[in-house]
Structure 1
Amino acid sequence: MAALQGLLVPHLLPERCYDELFLRFNLLHVPCLKILISKGLGLAIVAGSLMVKLPQVFKILGARSAVGLSLQAILLELLAITGTMVYSLANGFPFSAWGEALFLMLQTVAIGFLALHFGGRTAQGVSFLVLYFTLLCLLLSPLTPQPVVTLLQAANMPAIVISRLLQAATNYRNGHTGQLSAVTVFLLLAGSLARIFTSVQETGDPLLAVTYVVSSVCNGVIAAQLLYYWHVPAGAGARKKLE
């Protein structure tokens, strides 16, 4: 029992909740159940984010092509992910509330580089990596004032909406979803839906919660397109170059 307590307290539960659930067996203690579910769900999302975009990366590598992916959408998504990560760190939110942003950021950066590389713009891809990580270091440094960090998070919603609209428009124009990975899209949808609950429970930050609501709606649009174009091969319709 002591080992279990050391595992759960304080990482998943405050000590009072451990006592309620595991010593008094008060399994209907709603506030503590909410904390346990939120922490567990948050850590599961973080763990899942280690692989959520890898299917997309492998699909691009396997096809040696990023056809069907909007570069503008990738960059805007990266902006939104970066905003969440920087805002969460600046406000001292627990890692379980935002940790997936770190791993999604690394995978999105890789997708952006591969999109440029397979589009014949490798030099631009290298410049993109250098510029992005330089800006990230600046945003995470004490040199960046808090109002700028808050503004970056507030910019998430338009960035998410525009990025998904760009990808949806690319899918519609092409008549297929190209190298877009269904696994990645549906995992992103599931993660954003779960984050609505965990952000409310763990941070109480309305800006963060609304961001995930908007993200869920936008991810749902792309998921619906994937289902609609499910049996349409990537080569069907008008082939479009990477935007």
Structure 2
Amino acid sequence: MTSITRNLPWFIKDLGISIVGKECYTSLVENLDMGDVQCIKYSLSKGLGIGIVVGGSVMKVPQILLIINARSARGLSFSSYILETLSYAITLAYSFRNEFPFSTYGENLFLTIQNTVVTLLILAYAPSSLRSGNKAQKIAVAIFATIATAFALYVIPSQTLSLLQMSTLPLSLFSKLPQIRQNARTQSTGQLSAVAVIAQVAGCLARLFTTATEVGDAIVSAGFALALLLNIVLGAQLYMYWGKSDVTESHELGKAHGYIEVEKVKEQESPAPAVYEPASWQQQTPQQRVATPPPRTPSSASGRKWARKVD
């Protein structure tokens, strides 16, 4: 068998070496040494990392399509997406500047871009009471802020960037808390994509393994651990509130824009008018009663009030 693995085509060999390195390629592929635990862990980490990067390139696409198809961003927290996008961007810049392997952080590039698109869509599909000119102005400001932030992360000193990387821990916390709180308050997850949340849970689990195997940075690992915990909470809310409509949020949104909720009340039937039955009528036979119905009381005469006409 080793005679075949040692004579594989050059393009397969070069691809394998570029992924796992020459030492592990020789040990696992050419020599078929399945007892090399270190190379097995490293190769598994590389495989997971590449899978996460590929998955991250489309992770938020279901969320984007959900918003566009529904023409609504109901249930999505604007502040959550801003903080989450900033956290992704800082981790991307920190990993790039420290020359980490692309397989350990590549998905942050795609997630930053996709989150930016989602944030702009939240502004674009804001309530219709917001003037279109005001919407365009806010979108323009958001685009300018995105470009300015990207430039700042590229040029700031590495020491400052390390401090910013530490700030991704509270950023991850505060980026999820508004969304979690909004879901709990409205008892609904709105347009939140279940596919995106499940993919984030799986991605965080895999990233904990790849970071520990290839990078060993405690700050980055802590960020992924916190993100995993918060994404699990979002996943639990998706399960609890699945299929529930956002009644509370719609009511509060209407009150915020000056609308009053009108409830349909079933029209009650008016009570039967009181009947005055004189003693002489009570002594009549049933046939006589049908022929001469009892007079109605003055108060039941169609509810009209009469007044004497004064000339």
Query: Which TM class, normalised by the smaller chain length?
Result: over 0.9
1:126 to 132, 136, 140: 140
1:224 to 229, 233, 236: 236
Shift of 1:8: 0.9
Q: What is the aligned partner in structure 2 of residue 5 from structure 1?
A: 13
User: Is the CA contact (8 Å cut-off) linking 1:182 and 1:226 kept in structure 2?
Assistant: yes
Residues in 1 aligned to 2:94 and 2:194: alpha-carbon distance in whole angstroms: 29
1:170 is the counterpart of 2:177: no
Shift of 1:28: 2.5
Larger Rg: 2
* TM-score, structure 1 normalization: 0.94
2:162 to 116, 134, 150: 150
Q: What is the aligned partner in structure 1 of residue 99 from structure 2?
A: 92
Structure 1 residue ranges (4+ consecutive) displaced by more than 3 angstroms after TM superposition: 235-238
Residues in 2 aligned to 1:238 and 1:211: alpha-carbon distance in whole angstroms: 31
2:221 corresponds to which letter in structure 1?
A: A
Q: What is the aligned partner in structure 2 of residue 183 from structure 1?
A: 195
1:211 to 211, 218, 223: 223
1:65 is the counterpart of 2:72: yes
1:201 to 207, 210, 213: 213
Shift of 1:36: 0.6
User: Identity rate of aligned residues, in percent?
Assistant: 34
Residues 15-67 of structure 1, C-alpha deviation per residue, up to 9 Å, x if partnerless? Answer: 11111111211113110011111111001000001110011111111111111
Q: SS at 2:249's partner residue?
A: coil
Q: What is the aligned partner in structure 2 of residue 238 from structure 1?
A: 249
Q: SS at 1:231's partner residue?
A: coil
2:223 corresponds to which letter in structure 1?
A: T
Shift of 1:236: 3.5
Deviates most, 116-125 or 83-92? 116-125
1:49 corresponds to which letter in structure 2?
A: G
Higher relative contact order (CA 8 A, sep 6+): 1
Residues 89-137 of structure 1, C-alpha deviation per residue, up to 9 Å, x if partnerless? Answer: 1111011010000000000000110101111423211211122112202
Extract unaligned runs of 5+ from structure 2: 1-7, 254-311
Q: What is the aligned partner in structure 2 of residue 43 from structure 1?
A: 50
Deviates most, 1-10 or 174-183? 1-10
Residues in 1 aligned to 2:168 and 2:152: alpha-carbon distance in whole angstroms: 18
Residues in 1 aligned to 2:194 and 2:214: alpha-carbon distance in whole angstroms: 29
Residues 125-160 of structure 1, C-alpha deviation per residue, up to 9 Å, x if partnerless? Answer: 12111221122022113xx11121111111111111
Residues in 2 aligned to 1:82 and 1:23: alpha-carbon distance in whole angstroms: 40
User: Is the CA contact (8 Å cut-off) linking 1:41 and 1:194 kept in structure 2?
Assistant: yes
Corresponding pairs, count? 237
Extract unaligned runs of 5+ from structure 1: none
